[in-house]
Amino acid sequence: MTDIRIRDYQNSDAEDLNRIAVSAFGQFHDQYQDWPAMLAGRSKTSALSANGEIIVVEFQKQFAGAVA
């Protein structure tokens, strides 16, 4: 059986969330005219939790992704 867990975001998830957001957008860095600005924004993705809901996915007890 696959060990997948869906749960609410917790402040302790901030570093993992920001890292994954940067990684997800990083593959498209050539497509952005101002990649440093986009990188700065994605590095603060966890700040979205102040005004919205973030759902976290864990796979085998490790942070695997999130949806804001």
Mean pLDDT confidence for 42-46: 94
* Confidence band for 1, pLDDT divided at 50, 70 and 90: low
> Strand runs (DSSP E) across 1-68, as ranges?
4-8, 55-59, 62-67
Rounded Cα–Cα distance for residues 10 and 26 (Å):
24
The residue type of 61 is K
Which whole number is the average pLDDT over 1-10?
A: 88
Q: What is the mean pLDDT of residues 9-30?
A: 93
